[in-house]
Amino acid sequence: MKRLTLFSMAAAFLCSGFGAWGESVTGVVKDASGTPLRGVMVSAIKGDFDMSVSVLSQKDGTFTIDDLAPNTYSIRARYIGLEDNTIKNITAGSTQSGSVAFSMEPARDINLQRTADNLLSFVEFENVADKENFKMFCAYCHQIGTLGFRSPEEPVDWSTMVTRMDGFGGLYKHLQDTVVARLLDAYSDEAVEGWPEYAGPPEPEDAVLNMRITEWDVRHRTKTKGPRGNDPKLYGTEKRNAFMHDLEIGNDGLVYAVDPVNGSVVSLDPKTDELVWNIVQAGAHSIEMDKVGNMWLTLSGKGQMAKWDITTGETVKMSSAPKPAPRGGYPHTLRVSHETGLIWYTDAGREVYSIHPDPPYEVTEYKTLSADQAVGGGRGESSGRTPYGLDIAPNGMIWYAKLNGNRIGRIDPDVEGGDIKEWNPPFRGPRRLQIAADGIVWVPGWGSGVIGAFDPNSEEWEIHEMPNAINRLPYALNVDEKTGNIWITGTGSDTLIKLDPKSGHFTEYRLPSRVTFTRKIEIDDDGNIWTTNSASPLRHSERGYSSFIRLEPGI
């Protein structure tokens, strides 16, 4: 499947045989008075943001971006409250790359640097329940209050935009009647002029200063690959920007992400920066690797599942349910049991299912519980069933979350019918949960801005409230099996966040690009954190493109 050009073979040889590239850019960051600045994000940007490597300046203002390929870069310094400063045409490894000096001036318009967790605080509600309801149904795909959000595309007005956003009909009736006025009160041009002074987020902790972030922009589909080849007559010449949703780390050194807009899986080779579009099927939403290395996809827009052979490029599609639904299905999140080989997945409009990985791809349906059958005095439930996040526990139990139904549930696959049990959490919006090695179920509370830890043995919750919780939107999380730390998407704050479950301490790692909307986290064998920028619409994000993101925590 992977195309090896002479250049990519040489690059792979150099990277794998002798370690990473050996060039570097070093320098110092100071303010206008000459005082060294700590915690400034300095990025070496290749091309037109094709790829960038970012580090933080140290206590004395110095920075080092090493392991760079011998290319020419733009070097950008960025810090909230200060104006971006970019020095162009710096060749890594040259004489000039050893003494790059920045002088940072105060931001001319700091409102352009506000993060969404700050901006969301400007929308006024009568109570917490109303704000949680707004977050649940109006922040699914983009950051509230950012510049792109405040500028609906023509000729769409605010009323039309909000009506479209509330497609699930989940907003309370009184919010449906008032939400446009509330948004205008917060984000109109007149309102912006009266915003309070912005101090920015807290300074990065000392433990964060050694982090390193690499970001690869994924733009329009320029390369295609699949069983029908690259004939433009078959695919057309239209260039549509990629919309990167979930990602998966392959066993071949590549990282894969689904692009539902182009019906593709995009693969990234982190050693060579090469991107390849693999034509699979429109509507792909989630991706997971099975025991033998095939990739399984939920085709949400088609009500189907797909098995994609990454070696041959062959894709096999099958129905996601034993019987078609009158309104179609919406298969959502999947996981692979490495004990049984079964693929488990949720259908956001129906139930939870498993499918056998081999023909005839037998599907088993598990009927989840009705509205009066959940356990626990949690935050209540809504009429929406919406099986959403899903994971497999070390003991083989299947756990799922009902985002709008406000529950988590457990299926015992060894018992006929699943012996299903569900619990109401003491917060709003359980989303993409994950099971730790000790069996604790970690659940992001999308609506409430908290992280819940559920003990299946005691059936008790421990709640970790995020800083500025009511304005936070934890979409997904993952558990680092080596350290036990919980990594969380900072979907509305342009961060990735680490939770130490022993101390309850949250550590934030700021991302280099503004308006970064993250949906899934993967952790590689070296402890690096992977995610994608997956804002929708793409024009809301800083450059208007999706991207692969790798965070090396550095500790």
13 band by pLDDT with thresholds 50, 70 and 90: very low
Q: Which of 465, 462, 466, 452 is nearest to 508 (CA)?
A: 466
Write the pLDDT tens digit of every residue in 411-441. Answer: 999 999 999 999 999 999 999 999 999 999 9
Hey, is 465 helix, strand or coil? strand
User: How far, in Å, CA of 276 to CA of 267, rounded?
Assistant: 5
- What is residue 209's predicted lDDT score, i.e. its pLDDT? 98
User: How far, in Å, CA of 291 to CA of 445, rounded?
Assistant: 31
Write the pLDDT tens digit of every residue in 484-534. Answer: 999 999 999 999 999 999 999 999 999 999 999 999 999 999 999 999 999
Pairing of strands 546-552, 529-533: antiparallel
Secondary structure, 3-state, 103-146 = EECECCCHHHHCCHHHHHHHCCCCCHHHHHHHHHHHCCCCCCCC
Write the pLDDT tens digit of every residue in 209-263. Answer: 999 999 999 987 654 444 444 444 444 445 668 889 999 999 999 999 999 888 8
Residue 175: both structure tokens together: 């919010």
327 band by pLDDT with thresholds 50, 70 and 90: low
349 band by pLDDT with thresholds 50, 70 and 90: confident
Q: Is CATH 3.40.630.10 the right assignment for the domain spanning 6-108?
A: no
**Residue 140 backbone dihedrals phi, psi, to 5 degrees:** -60, -40
Write the pLDDT tens digit of every residue in 363-412. Answer: 999 999 887 777 776 666 655 567 999 999 999 999 999 998 899 999 99
User: How far, in Å, CA of 66 to CA of 260, rounded?
Assistant: 35
User: How far, in Å, CA of 91 to CA of 98, rounded?
Assistant: 10
Write the pLDDT tens digit of every residue in 197-207. Answer: 999 999 999 99
Torsional class of 19: left (φ above 0), alpha (ψ -120 to 50), beta (otherwise): left
User: How far, in Å, CA of 347 to CA of 329, rounded?
Assistant: 7
pTM of the model: 0.92
Q: What is the identity of the amino acid at 502?
A: K
What residues have CB less than 8 Å from 125, skipping those under 6 apart?
131, 134, 182
User: How far, in Å, CA of 372 to CA of 368, rounded?
Assistant: 12
Task: Note the residue count of the chain.
Answer: 555
Asked whether residue 455 carries a pLDDT value surpassing 90, the answer given is yes
Sequence spans of domains, the chain: 6-108, 111-193
